[in-house]
Copies of this chain bind each other. A is one copy, B any other.
């Protein structure tokens, strides 16, 4: 399986005006071996099968406190608030997402370069890695806002020109995640199937979902098939817990009517052998804070 950064045949077509299709993954999931460390053979096998791994106490309570403080500082910094890469909720005026935190915060830069994350990403991807995207998300309590099912890869392929599935994400919980306050939900094994997202919407339900969630929304039939085949795992965890998952995992998170807000850091590592080309959707490149064009490997 060779990979080229030239834009030739697209093995993962999507948003082509065609129908919604399920297609097999054409890429390896794990490129390294247990000998490379730090993940052992069982963890690598789990990741191959399920497309994700969880780490209950990945960061210490002291570290988590420092990370939470830094996020709070950024969320009230007028300079950060003024940037396009900061998403503020219109109604509450609260910060929801700050993108590119590894470039705008020394504290988060250090996390992005922490060997606990980088070494695992390198081992799975089998090469040096660079950071394609990073962010800090805060979800309020008492609201029903959800993050609908999606594969990150579909977006990065269509909108950022990422050629192949050779990227992983690390999320780090900065708060408790119970089943009732919007934990990450994932369909284990779904990373082995590519859901090509069509533009033809034969049903009212599909149209309503596309209107609500935009391009790159999997069809109801695709989600039903994947959920029946793989099930749904609800990834509860405490502050400092982490999830490492494949770029093509089907994931989302439900709304949160509990009074407990939640916050998460995430870092996306892409293989240096998988540098993005032009977006496969034909649209213009997204800003650097959504799809990096600085491919400098993490040292």
Provide the residues of chain B in CB contact with A61, threshold 8 Å: none
Q: How many copies does the complex hold?
A: 2
Asked if B144 contacts A144 (CB within 8 A), the reply is yes
Is A37 in contact with chain B by the CB < 8 A criterion?
no
Provide the residues of chain B in CB contact with A149, threshold 8 Å: 257
Provide the residues of chain B in CB contact with A142, threshold 8 Å: 205, 209, 220, 223
A237 CB to closest chain B CB (Å) equals 14
Identify A260's interface contact among B91, B148, B227, CB under 8 A. B227
Is A234 in contact with chain B by the CB < 8 A criterion?
yes
Is A146 in contact with chain B by the CB < 8 A criterion?
yes
Residue of A148, A179, A209 with highest tally of chain B CB at under 10 A: A179
A22 CB to closest chain B CB (Å) equals 14
Q: A42-50, A108-116, A120-128, A248-256: which lies at the B interface? A: A248-256
Is A287 in contact with chain B by the CB < 8 A criterion?
no
Known: A178-B232, A185-B180, A232-B178. A227 touches B258 (CB 8 A): yes
27 contacts between A and B (CB under 8 A): A91-B204, A91-B208, A92-B204, A92-B205, A92-B208, A141-B220, A142-B209, A142-B220, A142-B223, A144-B144, A144-B145, A144-B146, A148-B257, A149-B257, A178-B234, A179-B179, A179-B180, A179-B234, A180-B185, A185-B258, A223-B259, A224-B259, A227-B258, A228-B259, A232-B258, A254-B255, A255-B255
